[in-house]
Amino acid sequence: MGLPSATLLAQSVLSGVFIGALYGLLGLGLSLSWGLLRQINLAHFALAFLGAYLCYQLAGAGVDPLLTLLIIVPAFFALGVALQWLFARFDISAFNSLLVTFGLTVIIEAAIQSIWTADFRRLESVYGNAKFKLGVLYIPVPELLTLLLALALSLAIWAALRFTDLGRAMRAAAEDGPIAAAFGVNQPALALLLSGVCAALAGVAGVCIALSYTLAPAQIYAWIGVVFAAVMMGGLGRALGPIVAGIVIGVSEAITMAVTAPSWAPLVSFSLLIVVLLARPGKVQ
Amino acid sequence: MRVFAAILLAGAALATLPLLGLPLFYESFLYLVFHWIILATSWNILSGYSGYFSFGHGAFFGAGMYTTATLASRFDVPFLWTLPAAALVAMLLGAGLGAVVFRAKQVRGELFALVTLAVTFVVGTIVLNTPIDGGPGVYLSGVPVPKIGPSAASSFYLMGLAAAVATIAIAWAIHRSRLGTGLFAIHDDEDVAEVLGVPTFGCKMAAFAVSCALAGLAGGIHALFVSYVTAGETFSITVPLTVVLMSVLGGTRHWAGPAVGATIITALLYAFTAGNHAVAGKAVFGAVLIAVILFMPGGVLGTLRARRPRKGALRAPSVLPAGGDASNEAEEVAVPSAATKSPAVARTKVILAAAGLSRSFSGVRALDCVDIEVREGEILGLLGPNGSGKSTFINLVSGHYKPDAGALQFEGRDLARLPAHRIARAGVARTYQIPRPFAHLTVLDNVALTAMFGGAALPRKEAVAEARRWLDFTGLADKADALPDDLNLHQRKFLELARALAARPRLLLLDEVLSGLTPGEINGAISLIRRIRDGGATIVFVEHVMRAVMALTDRIVVLDHGVVIAEGDASAVMQQSAVVTAFLGKAHA
């Protein structure tokens, strides 16, 4: 098996960056809710696909896919707030949150399947196959939009957590809830806000998925493993972690695919994940 | 044993069904029920009992599937002969994974779940890309089904039944064995379990190996049943999640819980699929999972068991062996001794010797080159202000931490090199300053655990009798069947004590057993500790209650900032100016 040409390799690295950005965008909400709320939200993936199908539906009615964000983001924010209200009411442990949100995932999957059937759906829009050439490389527009959105959101949330009082209060509450509460942090309200933000992020990721990928209900599960790998490698509760780790994984996958065969790609991300978990579990938590 | 007979009897009764001419369709449906019973029950042996929720059951199931598929379709090995190989391959995969993962101390809970899930995808990718599968999947349509029953369907039915009965019997046997007790202790508090003598690594490895082997067996049978094996279907997240749901629904702390859950879920899914409502069935599946977690966290069997009134409480005193020599010993011990101190201990041999013992915690030297000797049969008081290193000393001797430097010899054994459970086995027992009972084990089981895994290393039955003796000794007999949460602080402190005593230690480390007790309770405890020493144990006694220190100790060692500042007879040492300064500050000296 010969090595691919430099151009081909560069093009695959670029596509790795693009898909890595989507890993990072999906991982962002997951990482925040795990790190700051102690919830492992499997339903994040189902929400993202729900967002993708909504975007598909609205775009089918003639709305520009990017404008659907104006509906999806607030709607998903409200959904996230409602979910957190439920979680707080039942005082669910981290592990049980994984099981409960899996149950939720299955329900959402069933709902998607009954509304849009199990057939593949593809969003047709002005962005569909738009691409331009930069030097020798082709840049697909939908993927570029995803990358920019992911970078912007990661940076914005990073800055919010670091520089605003609200962000500091959130990190304090995550570190030691009772102590933070004693200093006047309204933890339940912050949790509602954060959960809303995470769900909204799932919605944004969903729109990005709809822009670049073919949709099917079962696809919900296809992303779980690799996105979890990005979340764990990036460090829980860190806003910039998922996108950095996501791009690292995406690029290594792309190179693996270019050098060997596409079906070997999962080996890279999961081996990386195992190594991270075993070698530096302290860093992850 | 009645349970075991019942399991076999139920299996035998079900085995006669095909002879009665059951419709084919029921045999296939029941085969699926057995299939899920094996997977869920085998998963529960490690994950339910010990709390290490594995999401890698698909990998072991898949390893078995592909072993059988490869051997039967490519090498023409008779199908039944491939099944032991399927179990073996899955077991080796699990053992290899366990040997790595169980050594990484922090990989517990969610992290363990993720590692095992990642391993599933790695194994799946390798299978997909190598000649084992190669991409298109493996067909077993040419492999003959062994003629066990009248038809192919009944053969699968009987194979599934036999494997399910064996799996449930194994789960039951482990549940009531020492291994099972060890696993339940790991579930509640792994660090404490190790210090009390449970070989945690070995227990997890054994449970994982059994669990994986059974999953591999189920995979082997299922490979022929579906007769077409693909990597995508096999190494997925659906197998582990379904298994988790079944076990959680039935109850993970009961050996039969997963079987109950598997039967319910399989029947439910089948009902919906048969009625052409597969999608609705999926949604119901999700809703059931949520409802169970929120409203029935113990599962079906756990909830049923909690409703049943506890019966053992009244029975406890009468179970105490009346004539055995074990109980005589307890009664002898119970007579308060006239001699409160033993001046002769100075001549006895050194049982524990620490030399140059040091341990730092992120830069703070908790113990700094400490030399302490403990002589056989004495009560050594370990004193010092808060943060002086007393508890660190106890933690090093019991193996909770390892020293950074220095030697630690117990009866000629180097404790610094032994894993904590071997230290406990060698005859060292301890109490925790803040009681750390196993929350889901009864008071009796908490104590029986150390009798099983500590220095005495009794078989389970005798350990329970031993535990009842020590509950009597500490006045907790009527709480034997309560859970630790039902005890008050005083009782929890005494539970710590009973747990340490049931190990029949040669060296007993008491870490502030008296703090928080009322003066009356302290009096009781003082006479209790005297009786323990008169029973032959050597005691290292960390305490702030000076009245108890003066009344009990033969000798005291005073620590301050990790250094020994005084040593000798209690009343003499407490007069020394360095000691007074350490406790009260400079102005008073």
Tokens of B531: 């009786």
pLDDT in tens, B219-276: 999 999 988 888 888 888 778 888 988 898 888 888 999 999 999 989 888 888 777 7
Q: Is the pLDDT of residue B583 over 80?
A: no
- The pLDDT score that the predictor gives to residue A213 is 86
CA A29/CA A153 separation, integer angstroms: 10
Higher pLDDT, A283 or B282: B282
Q: Are A23 and A224 in contact (CB under 8 A)?
A: no
pLDDT in tens, B305-334: 776 655 444 333 333 333 333 333 333 333
Q: What is the CA B287 to chain-centroid distance, rounded?
A: 31
Tokens of A157: 């949330």
- The pLDDT score that the predictor gives to residue A44 is 93
pLDDT in tens, B153-192: 888 989 999 999 999 999 999 998 889 999 999 999 999 9
Helices (H), A61-93: 69-90
For residue B89, name the pLDDT band (cuts at 50, 70, 90).
very high
Q: Are B66 and A244 in contact (CB under 8 A)?
A: no
8 Å CB contact of A95 and B135: no
Higher pLDDT, A282 or A46: A46
- The pLDDT score that the predictor gives to residue A279 is 76
CA B146/CA B158 separation, integer angstroms: 11
- Cα of A231 to nearest chain B Cα, Å: 11
For residue B558, name the pLDDT band (cuts at 50, 70, 90).
confident
Average pLDDT score over chain A: 86
- Cα of A283 to nearest chain B Cα, Å: 10
C-beta atoms surrounding B418 within 10 Å: 18
Report chain A residues whose CB lies below 8 A from the CB of B280.
110, 114
Average pLDDT over residues B197-215: 94
Residue whose C-alpha is closest to residue A154's, from A64, A6, A38, A21? A21
Average pLDDT over residues B570-577: 76
User: So what's the ipTM on this one?
Assistant: 0.80
Residues 6+ apart with CB under 8 A from B295: none
**Nearest beta carbon to residue A225 from set B110, B117, B129:** B117
Strand order in the sheet with B563-568: B428-430, B507-511, B538-542, B379-383, B555-560, B563-568
- The pLDDT score that the predictor gives to residue B309 is 53
**Nearest beta carbon to residue B293 from set A96, A105, A273:** A96
Q: Is B252 exposed, middle or buried (0-12, 13-18, 19+ CB in 10 A)?
A: buried
Q: Which of the given ranges, A195-204, B285-294, B352-361, has the highest pLDDT on average?
A: A195-204
8 Å CB contact of A100 and B125: no
pLDDT in tens, B395-425: 999 988 888 888 888 888 888 888 889 898 8
User: What letter does residue B513 receive in the DSSP assignment?
Assistant: S
8 Å CB contact of B283 and A106: yes
Average pLDDT over residues A121-150: 81
- The pLDDT score that the predictor gives to residue A21 is 93
- The pLDDT score that the predictor gives to residue B344 is 52
For residue A2, name the pLDDT band (cuts at 50, 70, 90).
low
User: What letter does residue B433 receive in the DSSP assignment?
Assistant: S
Average pLDDT over residues B466-480: 88
Tokens of B32: 């699926």
- The pLDDT score that the predictor gives to residue B339 is 42
Question: CATH assignment of A6-223+237-284?
Answer: 1.10.3470
pLDDT in tens, A69-107: 899 999 999 999 999 998 888 878 777 888 889 889 989
- The pLDDT score that the predictor gives to residue B315 is 38
pLDDT in tens, B484-504: 888 888 888 889 989 988 888
Residue whose C-alpha is closest to residue B549's, from B514, B583, B586, B585? B514
Average pLDDT over residues A12-36: 92
Average pLDDT score over chain B: 83
CATH fold of B376-404+416-588 reads Rossmann fold (3.40.50)
Whose tokens are 């009411």? That residue is: A89
Mutation target to probe the A interface, by most A beta carbons within 10 A, among B52, B115, B245, B288 is B115
8 Å CB contact of B115 and A229: no
Q: Is the pLDDT of residue B94 over 90?
A: yes
A272 in B contact zone (CB under 8 Å): no
The domain spans of chain B are 2-240, 376-404+416-588
- The pLDDT score that the predictor gives to residue A229 is 85
Q: Are strands B507-511 and B538-542 parallel, antiparallel or unpaired?
A: parallel
Asked which of A261-275, B27-41, B327-341 is least confident by mean pLDDT, the reply is B327-341
For residue A187, name the pLDDT band (cuts at 50, 70, 90).
confident
Report chain B residues whose CB lies below 8 A from the CB of A99.
244-245, 248, 289, 293
Q: Which long-range contacts (CB under 8 A, 24 or more apart) does B432-436 make?
A: B432/B192, B432/B496, B432/B511, B433/B391, B433/B511, B433/B512, B433/B515, B433/B542, B435/B484, B435/B489, B435/B492, B435/B493, B435/B495, B435/B496, B436/B189, B436/B192, B436/B496
Report chain B residues whose CB lies below 8 A from the CB of A232.
114
- The pLDDT score that the predictor gives to residue B308 is 61
Task: Return the SS3 of B540.
Answer: strand
Q: Are strands B563-568 and B350-361 parallel, antiparallel or unpaired?
A: unpaired
**Nearest beta carbon to residue B104 from set A224, A228, A278:** A278
CA B171/CA B177 separation, integer angstroms: 10
What is the percent of chain B with per-residue pLDDT over 70, rounded to a whole number? 92
What is the percent of chain B with per-residue pLDDT over 90, rounded to a whole number? 22
**Nearest beta carbon to residue A224 from set B104, B237, B294:** B237
8 Å CB contact of A232 and B114: yes
Classify the phi-psi angles of B349: left when phi > 0, otherwise alpha if psi is within -120 to 50, otherwise beta: beta
Report chain B residues whose CB lies below 8 A from the CB of A277.
104, 107, 111, 114-115, 118
8 Å CB contact of B287 and A225: no
Q: Are A32 and A237 in contact (CB under 8 A)?
A: yes
Q: Is the pLDDT of residue A179 over 90?
A: no
- The pLDDT score that the predictor gives to residue B322 is 35
Residue whose C-alpha is closest to residue B539's, from B413, B408, B394, B425? B394
Residues 6+ apart with CB under 8 A from A30: A40, A41, A44, A198, A227, A228, A231, A242
Residue whose C-alpha is closest to residue A115's, from A190, A62, A192, A50? A50
